[in-house]
């Protein structure tokens, strides 16, 4: 410790000498700076102080005096102390982060059972929804088939109805005329029902054509 204090005092004296030289170069705010540099006596004094400082730490060669080693030990102690402080600060921050991580893990552990329960319920609902969709699809197919069948049946019914109506219309016309499309009288209708018993005889087929030829309207 004494050696360290001695070295610190020597360094301070050297710095004070250099500062005095710098201050002596300028004389007040309005003074004129002396660019001539330090005098020979000042250089000699500074050199002697520097040599004295070197002699205090080294006794020649590359071997340092024990006092210098003590100073190195002090410096290293300060470095180690600062490193320990930094390590302690980083360790405190790391512990705080680990604490936060543990809190998050605990929260996740509390949430996971509820998450599993909700997931199971969701899976069940999805399975039920899939079953309903399948049933709905099948029901839609059945309804579509029924609609197609009903549409085809309606088309056939309309066709049959139309054919029936046409057949009935033809039959009504035949009944009204009293003969079929070949001119043959219908059964039971051999006597022309339009014949007037008190009037002229009913025309036979071809009578009108004979009258037209007789009148010269046609040749």
Q: Cα(189)–Cα(167) distance, rounded to whole angstroms? A: 20
pLDDT value, residue 174: 77
**C-alpha to C-alpha distances, 151 to 24, 147, 148, 158, 190, nearest whole angstrom:** 121, 6, 5, 11, 47
Give the whole-angstrom CA distance, residue 196 versus residue 185: 18
- 3-state SS class at 189: coil
Q: What is the pLDDT of residue 101?
A: 94
Instruction: Give the burial class of 177: count Cβ atoms within 10 A of its Cβ; 0-12 exposed, 13-18 middle, 19 or more buried.
Output: middle
Task: Note the pLDDT of residue 25.
Answer: 45
8 A C-beta contact, residue 75 and residue 3:
no
Whose tokens are 């039971």? That residue is 188
100 torsion bin: left (phi>0), alpha (psi -120 to 50), beta (else): alpha
Reduce the secondary structure of 107-173 to three states and give it as a string: HHHHHHHHHHHHHHHHHHHHHHHHHHHHHHHHHHHHHHHHHHHHHHHHHHHHHHHHHHHHHHHHHHH
Tokens encoding 14: 């050297």
pLDDT score recorded for residue 30: 47
Neighbours of 53 (CB within 10 A): 15
HSE-up (13 A, CA, CB side) for residue 63? 4
Tell me how far apart the terminal alpha carbons of the chain are, to the nearest angstrom: 165
Per-residue pLDDT, 65: 61
Q: Per-block average pLDDT, block size 10, for the chain (219 residues)?
A: 51 51 46 50 54 53 62 81 91 94 92 90 92 90 91 92 88 75 70 56 61 67
Measured distance CA(2)–CA(68) in Å, rounded: 11
pLDDT of residue 172: 82
């Amino acid at each position: 410790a004494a050696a360290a204090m001695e070295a610190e005092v020597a360094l301070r004296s050297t710095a004070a000498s250099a500062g005095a030289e710098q201050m002596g170069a300028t004389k007040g705010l309005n003074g004129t700076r002396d660019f001539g540099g330090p005098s020979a006596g000042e250089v000699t004094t500074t050199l002697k102080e520097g040599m004295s400082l070197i002699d205090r730490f080294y006794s020649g060669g590359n071997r340092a005096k024990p006092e210098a080693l003590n100073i190195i030990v002090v410096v290293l102690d300060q470095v180690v102390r600062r490193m320990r402080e930094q390590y302690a600060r980083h360790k405190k921050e790391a512990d705080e982060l680990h604490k936060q991580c543990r809190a998050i893990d605990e929260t996740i552990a509390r949430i996971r059972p509820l998450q599993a329960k909700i997931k199971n319920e969701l899976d069940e609902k999805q399975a039920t929804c899939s079953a309903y969709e399948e049933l709905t699809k099948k029901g839609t197919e059945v309804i579509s088939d029924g609609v197609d069948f009903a549409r085809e049946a309606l088309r056939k019914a309309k066709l049959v109805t139309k054919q029936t109506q046409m057949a009935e219309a033809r039959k009504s016309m035949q009944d009204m005329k009293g003969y079929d499309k070949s001119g043959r009288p219908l059964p039971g209708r051999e006597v022309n029902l339009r014949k007037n018993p008190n009037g002229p005889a009913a025309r036979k087929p071809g009578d009108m054509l004979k009258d037209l030829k007789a009148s010269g309207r046609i040749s």
